[in-house]
Amino acid sequence: MCRNITPMRGLEPIDTAEEIEAAVAIITEATTDLIAALPPRKVPPKTEPPLRRLARHEVG
């Protein structure tokens, strides 16, 4: 971790839960758009990604 990083202090008013959720939604949307814009893989992965395996087991 960089030693030059200091906590931000004195920011008034503090962020509300709605503002934080809105920022997260914006990042989620941007990430989804970026992933969708990626070209298809030339070689698919040899195994199913761990999070997808987990989701499949939870549903079934």
User: What's the pLDDT tens digit per position in 5-34?
Assistant: 666 666 778 888 999 999 999 999 999 999
3-state helix/strand/coil string of the chain: CCCCCCCCCCCCCCCCHHHHHHHHHHHHHHHHHHHHHCCCCCCCCCCCCHHHHHHHHHHC
- Residue 2, pLDDT > 70, answer no
Spatial separation of the C-alpha atoms in residues 25 and 42, rounded to whole Å: 31
* Residue whose token pair is 């989804």: 32
Place of tokens 């809105």: 22
